[in-house]
Amino acid sequence: MKTALPDGLIVVAKADCPTCRLAEPLLAELNAQAGPLTVYVQDSTEYAADLPGTLYDKTLEHSYRLGIEFVPTLIRVENGVEVQRTYGWHKEDWRQISGLAALGEDLPVMRPGCGSKTLEPGIAEELELAFGDIRLQSREIDFSAVDDPFEACFERGWSDGLPVVPPTPVRVLRMLKGTRRKPDEVVGLMPPDLVPCTVEKVAINAVMAGCKPEYMPVLLAALEAALTDEFGLHGLICTTMFGSPLIIVNGPAARAVGMNSGVNALGQGNRANATIGRALQLIIRNVGGGRPGEIDRATLGNPGKYSFCFAEAEDSEWLPLAQERGIEAGRSAVTLFPGEGVQGIIDQKSRDPESLARSFALSLRAVDHAKLAMAGDAVLVVSPEHARVFIDAGWSKQRLREELDRLLLAPGKELVAGAGGITEGIPERFKDMQVPKFRPGGLLIVRAGGTAGLFSAIIAGWAASGPVGSSAVTREVNT
């Protein structure tokens, strides 16, 4: 309910504010000679209690609606509209607003006030939920007072197996402050149930995953990328194979939220990496209904289905992934990839790019199966020490990719079904051709990892890569 502003003067005060106490003896004079005066007291019934217009603003609704930041605040209202305001004790201001030329003759010229109770931590969000314009649409669920809310979230099936943060309205409101997008904006239809996924539902699941509000722009960009037709999330959720969305972040947004691109970049321990990836998985589970054993039919799955998200360790001499994929330099972007697990490449002896590229190519043959080709895409994660071997020799990322494409051509006769005594393999019609391992554009290269270690990594993609299934998708991060 919105209350009309009372004409005359309004003072908003706190009993425990010394400046409010300083001005208290003047309030009777204000009421009698410049009033009527309305006094809203934020913390007590013991302030200006003998004046007829004093009200204990226990719920802080009046203070909230007046937008009070400091006490005391003095406001003049004419015809229901605020015309003047001052805060703290400034003798000249109070005299000018009240029209009383001799007001507070014995008081000092100026005394600063105190902060309004409406802005205290934990209170501001409660007030916004109670009296603000925001209207959250999700239904509220009351757990019994004897339930542990963490256990209750497990019992409702909202968890990936690890504890989730209970998504209270206050936490969700804080999360929504991380984006300028409206809570009721629909990001897209969430597979597999194909239900509209709003920014509010994203925020709820982000709270549960443990995100900070500042991660929201990255998470929303990742979700948008995941919901494109090219990425084909529906099939990826349902497949019996291993894959699941991997998020690779480029640009200033990754550094701003403290993402890890260095030591243990593909591992645990960094909040942004861990919770952005997890939030996307929880949205798939909770909003989309993609739960393992139901529509998620993965035979084995992979540990990245809890969370798989890292940043590229960008280097001035190697073009970052996002820029290779059309994003302007200096902008932030996410690239979604239908990733499996991590396979290490250990090469501690190669010191020239030719040898190291041959090492990489040989190891990359294992993607899907050494006898399969043009099936799954792959991400090659090159560690800084390995990258240095190429960069020192003047090899760009593009040069490395071209060399790998060439090295990964194989005689079809070695790959066809039955060759090598192995029934698995590519169709017989390829037997007289040189066959590339990856489809064009199917090999992504990023630089990441700690500065010590002559190791790189392969993250294989879904064997149904490309138009038949899933392609990597890059989206710019916007606030």
Partner 1 sequence: MNENRVLDPTAEQAPAQRARLPRPTSIEGKVVGLLDISKPRGDVFLDRIEEQLAAMGIQVKRYAKPTFTRIAPTELKQRMAAEVDLLVEGLAD
- Please report, as ranges, the residues that interact with partner 1 according to CB under 8 A: 122, 136, 138-145, 147, 149, 152-153, 155-156, 158, 166-172, 190, 193, 195, 197, 200-201, 204-205, 208, 282, 286-289
Distance CA 316, CA 319 (A): 7
Nearer CB in complex with partner 1: 10/172: 172
The kind and range of the H/E element at 196 are: strand 195-198
Put residue 425 in one of left, alpha, beta given phi > 0 → left and psi -120 to 50 → alpha.
left
Provide the minimum distance between the beta carbon of 149 and partner 1 in the complex, in angstroms, as a whole number.
Answer: 4
Distance CA 261, CA 312 (A): 5
Nearer CB in complex with partner 1: 137/423: 137
Residues 6+ apart with CB under 8 A from 1: none
Nearer CB in complex with partner 1: 75/204: 204
Nearer CB in complex with partner 1: 144/316: 144
Provide the minimum distance between the beta carbon of 293 and partner 1 in the complex, in angstroms, as a whole number.
Answer: 17
Nearer CB in complex with partner 1: 36/166: 166
| SS3 at position 472 | coil
Provide the minimum distance between the beta carbon of 130 and partner 1 in the complex, in angstroms, as a whole number.
Answer: 13
Nearer CB in complex with partner 1: 136/374: 136
- The tokens for 402 are 């071209």
Nearer CB in complex with partner 1: 15/202: 202
Four-residue CA torsion sign, 268, 273, 279, 282: negative
DSSP codes, 14-66: -TT-HHHHHHGGGHHHHHHHH--EEEEESS-SSSSTTSTTEEE-TT-HHHHHT
Distance CA 415, CA 430 (A): 8
Provide the minimum distance between the beta carbon of 90 and partner 1 in the complex, in angstroms, as a whole number.
Answer: 37
Nearer CB in complex with partner 1: 193/392: 193
Four-residue CA torsion sign, 336, 342, 345, 351: positive
Distance CA 219, CA 204 (A): 12
Cβ-in-10-Å burial (0-12, 13-18, 19+) of 308 comes to buried
Is residue 41 within 8 A of residue 54, CB to CB? The reply is: yes
Provide the minimum distance between the beta carbon of 258 and partner 1 in the complex, in angstroms, as a whole number.
Answer: 25
Provide the minimum distance between the beta carbon of 136 and partner 1 in the complex, in angstroms, as a whole number.
Answer: 6
Provide the minimum distance between the beta carbon of 419 and partner 1 in the complex, in angstroms, as a whole number.
Answer: 48
Provide the minimum distance between the beta carbon of 167 and partner 1 in the complex, in angstroms, as a whole number.
Answer: 5
Of 38, 7, 12, residue with least CA distance to 23: 12
Find where tokens 């000679």 sit: 33
